[in-house]
């Protein structure tokens, strides 16, 4: 079934809902997820792919800093082309970021490329079964599908609890989340 129209409607609604979250509450949420992250079941020696927040996405930079301070390898996604899976380059607090495709801030090519075993994904909406509504480009879906062919990554959607909806319509190419991390709880997805 083609859910294109329904997903477009859900995206529009989700963008507006997320934009209504007050800045002080968003900041508080960002620090709440730092403490909750430790409760996720993670592989030993995690290599964590994070994301540089855009617009009103929950800001995970405090979590990135906390992980880096603990000696965890942190990476950011790199958009190579519109149809390719993402690459991941190492991030450190003083990393020089360059603007990539779609305005995504990413480390330039002088930073080491790594393969993450934990992926933190931004989202527009989620459900309790691991459904994730993204922006519709399919970057994370292609990347997760490729990684799941060679390893068992822990895929975590990160968002505000207010972004939960009853049901995310999923198509054949949509990859499910293992967990959803919010300021209130960790939800076991699929």
pLDDT of residue 3: 84
Overall pTM surpassing 0.85 (yes/no): yes
- What residues are paired with 57 via a beta bridge? none
Query: Where residue 1 falls among pLDDT bands split at 50, 70, 90?
Result: low
Q: At 138, which CATH number?
A: 3.40.50.10420
Q: How far is CA 132 from the centre of its chain?
A: 10
Nearest to 29 by CA among 61, 52, 66: 61
Q: Which two tokens stand for residue 11?
A: 């995206």
pLDDT of residue 182: 98
Residue 15 has pLDDT above 80, yes or no: yes
Query: Where residue 72 falls among pLDDT bands split at 50, 70, 90?
Result: very high
Residue 180 has pLDDT above 90, yes or no: yes
- What residues are paired with 78 via a beta bridge? 87
Query: Is residue 57 within 8 Å of 51, Cβ to Cβ?
Result: yes
Query: Is residue 88 within 8 Å of 78, Cβ to Cβ?
Result: yes
Q: What is the pLDDT of residues 122-178, one digit of tens each?
A: 999 999 999 999 988 899 999 999 999 999 999 999 999 999 999 999 999 999 999
Q: How many domains does the chain have?
A: 1
Instruction: Print the domain residue range for 61.
Output: 4-188
């Amino acid at each position: 079934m083609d859910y294109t129209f329904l997903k477009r409607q859900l995206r529009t609604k989700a963008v507006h809902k997320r934009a209504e979250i007050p800045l002080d509450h968003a900041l508080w949420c960002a620090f709440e997820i730092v403490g909750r992250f430790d409760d996720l079941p993670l592989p030993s020696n995690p290599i964590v792919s994070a994301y540089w927040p855009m617009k009103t996405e929950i800001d995970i930079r405090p979590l990135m800093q906390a992980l880096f301070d603990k000696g965890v390898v942190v990476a950011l996604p790199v958009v190579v082309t519109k149809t390719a899976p993402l690459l991941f380059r190492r991030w450190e607090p003083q990393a020089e970021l360059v603007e990539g495709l779609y305005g995504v801030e990413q480390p330039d090519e002088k930073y080491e490329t790594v393969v993450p075993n934990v992926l933190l994904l931004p989202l527009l909406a989620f459900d309790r079964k691991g459904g994730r509504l993204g922006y519709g480009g399919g970057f994370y879906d292609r990347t997760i599908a490729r990684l799941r062919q060679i390893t068992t990554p822990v895929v975590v959607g990160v968002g505000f609890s207010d972004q939960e909806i009853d049901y995310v319509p999923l198509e054949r190419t949509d990859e499910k989340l293992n967990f959803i991390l919010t300021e209130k709880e960790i939800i076991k997805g699929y």
